[in-house]
Amino acid sequence: MKFICKKSDLLKGVNIVLKAVPSKTTMSILECILIDASTGQIKMTANDMELGIETVIEGDIQEKGIIAIDAKIFSEIVRKLPDNDVTIETDAGFQMQITCEKARFSIAGKSGEDFSYLPYIEKAEPVVVSQFSLREVIKQTIFSISDNENNKMMTGELFEIDGNRLKVVSLDGHRVSIRNLELKEEYQPRKVIVPGKTLIEVSKILSGEMDALVNLFFTKNHIVFEFDETTVVSRLIEGEYFRIEQMLSTDYETKVKVNKKELLSCIDRATLLIRENDKKPIIIQITDGEMRLKLTSGLGTMNEEIVIEKEGKDILIGFNPKFLIDALRVIDDEMVTLYLVNPKAPCFIRDENQTYIYLILPVNFNSASV
């Protein structure tokens, strides 16, 4: 095999597929990137058996061939090459020569035949989403998945398609994040649970351009993201997702409209008094025209007032400040509306059209410290 390509194209391809190389594995072939120049394209693939990524890069193929090469050493070499054309050459003994200007490396590869290729997925009826919208939807929900592998469902996100609407849901037992996205066409109903790890990696690769599109394909066991010159194939999480409709109430006793930036800045300042692993609630007292926020820890006390518009009853309620910050950070609206019932019931942050809904459970606090 022999081909010549720009260092920037090679590095971009490596960085894309590197996201599917496992950090720990007992199968050494999975620690490799497959470089396949046998079909007139330079195709790079990595696969950890749960997540597989394939991308095509530009280049001039002079001799066709295929090789699997250790991802870690290859990526580090490519990253540090001069910014010029790179020549990749392999021999019959799977030795790879990498040449760029006066830099020359020779590293051992493996037979491409031993590599675990991506599963074949029949691509029928793609669901089309803009790259910008998909990246935003992931960013606005991914923070509330759980990292607890004991409950696999919570480590993924529900993707539910119904007509021209895509609903994405995540939860971790303390909060729920929901984004509703309007699609340009109507589609058959689908309901799958996509691993959070897959969505994190996909969001890093997406260009985020409004006009650039992603094709989503669904099978019983897999989801495929196809965009630009890249294909991402991921296993789905099996099982029935939580019935979140039962958690979503439109009833409220108190409705608060507040400037998002002011509220976020205030809670952010309060967290200066919280040490790592210190679970101190922020206590919020809502009265006519005013929201008072207070946080007390071993480092000190913080008090602040914010002007609000209030409908309904006064309320005193406590929250984990991180959960409020996570939700407020990803909301683009200038003003946000909070819906509350009582100090033990969830708080809802949602817009009028319910394009986003954030449910946050309150925490108990000692009222004597207020």
Domain residues of the chain, as ranges? Answer: 2-114, 127-245, 250-369
What dihedral angle (degrees, nearest 10) is formed by the CA atoms of 322, 324, 330, 333? -150
Q: In what order do the strands lie in the sheet with 356-360?
A: 156-171, 175-195, 356-360, 347-350, 335-340, 254-259, 309-312
Domains 2-114 and 250-369 share a fold: yes
Does the 127-245 domain belong in CATH 3.10.150.10?
Answer: yes
**Rounded alpha-carbon distances, angstroms, from residue 142 to 51, 94, 117, 236, 331:** 17, 41, 28, 16, 13
Identify whether the C-beta of residue 164 lies closer than 8 Å to the C-beta of residue 183: yes
- Mean pLDDT of each 10-residue bin along the chain, 370 residues long: 98 97 88 96 96 97 96 98 97 95 97 88 91 97 92 96 97 96 95 97 91 94 96 96 89 97 97 88 96 94 97 97 97 97 96 96 74
| Residue 221 in tokens | 């066991």
Output the pLDDT for position 368. 44
Output the pLDDT for position 209. 85
One-letter amino acid identity for 57?
I
- Angle, in degrees to the nearest 10, between helices 7-17 and 71-80: 150
Specify the pTM: 0.93
Output the pLDDT for position 33. 97
- 300-329 pLDDT per residue, tens: 999 999 999 999 999 999 999 999 999 999
Output the pLDDT for position 166. 97
Fold of the domain built from segment(s) 250-369: DNA Polymerase III; Chain A, domain 2 (3.10.150)
Identify whether the C-beta of residue 137 lies closer than 8 Å to the C-beta of residue 179: yes
Bridge partners, residue 166, by sequence: 161, 181
Fold of the domain built from segment(s) 2-114: DNA Polymerase III; Chain A, domain 2 (3.10.150)
Output the pLDDT for position 124. 84
Output the pLDDT for position 370. 55
Output the pLDDT for position 291. 97
Output the pLDDT for position 62. 97
